[in-house]
Amino acid sequence: MNIVSLIEKYIELSIKRDNLNKIIEDAEKKYNYEIVEGDMAFYLKDYKIEKGYNESARRNMEIRDQAKKDLYQVEQLLTPTHETYMKSIQSLDENQLKEALIALSIKKTDIERLNEELINRRNWAESKGEESFNNHNIKEEQEYNHIYSDCYYKIKKNDQLIRYYESFVNNFNYYINKNNEYIYDVAKKL
């Protein structure tokens, strides 16, 4: 497996990990909210509402527990992937590092370009949606709102990818600079 493919796998697993952590956090927040609301309903002797909050709290704990199981599996895959990445990057020579850096930079730039297109499309959908709303065309407005939401979701997902690619680009720059400093130090000693 080449280093860029390994990094893509690592990024994919890292994003899954981040998303599962967010699901766990959200489920715990909802659980706490619903427990408090359920307790308030109990004190107000509204047992039907209390039962609804308790049931919702239980479902959120099931969501959290499943996300924790999934997170454990992702981390089991992520750890050896990270170890393989660290071994691989240390075994690369400067030219291979530069090639990987270029490939990662191109991927990051491609995602940034896609985001620009999505931002333009989202802005277009927003203005068209407002026009449709002003013209009382609800069906058309809903279509534009769907396009807007779809673009928003993709932009957010791409922003996450960009952050990971940036960290790897910075990491590769570090290794290249470190390698150049080492070569310079060796040359000075000669």
pLDDT tens track for 46-97: 888 888 989 999 999 999 999 999 999 999 998 888 888 888 877 888 788 8
Asked which of 41, 57, 91 is the last residue of a domain, the reply is 91
Asked which of 69, 91, 113 is the last residue of a domain, the reply is 91
Q: Per-residue pLDDT tens for 90-146? A: 788 878 888 888 999 999 999 999 999 999 999 999 999 999 999 999 999 999 999
Q: Per-residue pLDDT tens for 7-54? A: 999 999 999 999 999 999 999 999 999 999 988 888 888 888 888 989
Residue 187 has pLDDT above 50, yes or no: no
The one-letter code for the residue type at 53 is Y
For residues 79 and 98, state if they share a domain: no
Report in angstroms the alpha-carbon separations of 161 from 5, 29, 111, 179: 14, 26, 8, 27
pLDDT at 30: 93
Q: Note the pTM of the prediction, 2 decimals.
A: 0.74
Those residues with Cβ within 8 angstroms of residue 56's Cβ, 6 or more apart along the chain or in another chain: 30, 34
For residues 109 and 134, state if they share a domain: yes
Q: What angle (nearest 5°) sits at the alpha carbon of residue 14, between those of residues 23 and 162? A: 105
For residues 101 and 63, state if they share a domain: no
For residues 76 and 106, state if they share a domain: no
Residue 186 has pLDDT above 50, yes or no: no
For residues 122 and 77, state if they share a domain: no
Interatomic CA distance for residues 21 and 19, integer angstroms: 5
Asked which of 33, 67, 91 is the last residue of a domain, the reply is 91
For residues 46 and 101, state if they share a domain: no
CB count within 10 Å of CB 148 equals 19
Q: What angle (nearest 5°) sits at the alpha carbon of residue 187, between those of residues 184 and 190? A: 155
Those residues with Cβ within 8 angstroms of residue 107's Cβ, 6 or more apart along the chain or in another chain: 4, 165
Residue-number span of the structural domain to which 60 is assigned: 1-91
For residues 40 and 59, state if they share a domain: yes
For residues 80 and 6, state if they share a domain: yes
For residues 181 and 103, state if they share a domain: yes
